[in-house]
Amino acid sequence: MLKLIYRRLLMMVVMLLGLLAIMFVVANVAPGDPARLAAGPDATRDMVETIRVERGLDKPLPQRFVIYLGSVVTGDLGTSIHTGRAVLHDLAIYFPATLELVLFSIGLAIVLGIPLGVIAAVNHNQLADHIIRIFAVSGVAMPMFWLGLMLQWYLALELNWFPLGGQLDLMSDPPTRITGMLTVDALLTGNFAIFLGAVAHLFLPALSLSFPALASIIRVNRAEMLETLNRDYITNARAQGIGPLRIVAAYALKNALLPTLAMIGLRFGWMLGGTVLVEGVFDWPGVGLYAAKAAISSDFEPIMAVTLVLGASFMLANLLIDLTYAALDPRVRAQV
């Protein structure tokens, strides 16, 4: 088991290097002159050139990449042009908000998706199954940002049930910063009113972000449950007189969860990418919004850094999923 973790962490480093290399090339073939941008609109030609040399932008690309890697390793992710702060500092501010949003979203998708998939399979071709299937198909078909806009317009603007955007009401004081995730910090500091406010703000963006994942999880889990419920070991369990609850919730579900887990991992990746859109719609102060703003001003170092943390999050999540896989399936465990 430890060997698996070790191997996977090593692989992660290699993959992150690859990711950075690709991003680095893309950033440098994209139009726009970073030296000019850094120097500001009023800079003279000489000033721009000075900055170019100062920042090493005159060196060949591979050499610059190595230099960049060196600074990344020491924790220096560069400086953001549009915030004027160290990128690492910005990430410390914005990443917890994204993490909170994404964890809440994937949690929502899992907690709703698995039971709904099971309910649909158990009621195969009956009313409940049809309703859940229609729901799932619509979820796969609907673009995330469009769903976000619709939810925002109807539930927030028309019905006023939820706040339009942001992380907290302007009136309320944020809790002491511990993890940077408002809901968690509010709970840790025992501030229940703030917690409720934070959850209310979190709800619509999380729903938008989780809906496609929820739909896929339902679909995969339903299909897997249907197949598993037809397996021979289920027939044997029924022949022993074992009751339906144990058969569905343990004997079948534990087997059906294995492919569902793979889908959860995949969808988590999509979700991380989706934060750029959803954070934009709901004005959620996370790295997605941060990266979007940076992209508009051709501010590459923040984009690289955001890619790095999102990539690492995705890989860590998949490591976690593989470990869960091994925990669920003794045959997988036997192989590692």
Both structure tokens of 152 = 């925002």
Single out the residue of 146, 154, 161, 233 in contact with other proteins (rule: CB under 8 A): 233
Both structure tokens of 187 = 């709970």
- Which of 258, 319 has the CB closer to other proteins? 258
CB-CB contact of 97 with 286 (8 Å): yes
Helix, strand, or coil (residue 168): coil
Place of tokens 């100062």: 54
- Which of 60, 243 has the CB closer to other proteins? 243
Q: Using the rule CB under 8 A, is 232 a contact of other proteins? A: yes
Q: Using the rule CB under 8 A, is 250 a contact of other proteins? A: yes
State the first-to-last Cα distance of the chain, in angstroms, to the nearest integer.
Answer: 6
Q: Using the rule CB under 8 A, is 7 a contact of other proteins? A: no
CB-CB contact of 77 with 91 (8 Å): yes
Binding mask 54-93 for other proteins (x = CB under 8 A): ----------------------------------------
CB-CB contact of 98 with 288 (8 Å): yes
Residue 41 Cα to chain centre, angstroms: 36
Binding mask 312-331 for other proteins (x = CB under 8 A): ----------------xxxx
CB of 3 to other proteins, least distance (A): 20
Q: Using the rule CB under 8 A, is 334 a contact of other proteins? A: yes
Both structure tokens of 101 = 């949003």
Single out the residue of 246, 249, 273, 297 in contact with other proteins (rule: CB under 8 A): 246
CB-CB contact of 210 with 202 (8 Å): no
- Binding residues for other proteins, rule CB under 8 A, total 24
Task: Report the distance separating Cα 12 and Cα 104, nearest Å.
Answer: 24
CB-CB contact of 210 with 218 (8 Å): no
Which runs of consecutive H residues, i.e. helices, occur in 142-252?
144-151, 182-188, 192-229, 232-239, 244-246
CB of 330 to other proteins, least distance (A): 4
CB of 327 to other proteins, least distance (A): 10
CB-CB contact of 100 with 182 (8 Å): yes
Q: Using the rule CB under 8 A, is 251 a contact of other proteins? A: yes
Single out the residue of 242, 262, 266, 323 in contact with other proteins (rule: CB under 8 A): 242
CB of 231 to other proteins, least distance (A): 7
Q: Which range, of 10-18, 107-115, 231-239, 266-274, touches other proteins by CB under 8 A?
A: 231-239
Q: Using the rule CB under 8 A, is 126 a contact of other proteins? A: no
Q: Which range, of 139-147, 192-200, 244-252, 316-324, touches other proteins by CB under 8 A?
A: 244-252
Q: Which range, of 3-11, 17-25, 224-232, 278-286, touches other proteins by CB under 8 A?
A: 224-232
Phi, psi of 74 (to 5 degrees): -85, 5
Helix, strand, or coil (residue 123): coil
Residue 202 Cα to chain centre, angstroms: 14
Kindly list the residues in this chain that would bind other proteins in the complex (CB under 8 A). Answer: 125, 230-233, 235-243, 246, 250-251, 254-255, 328-331, 334
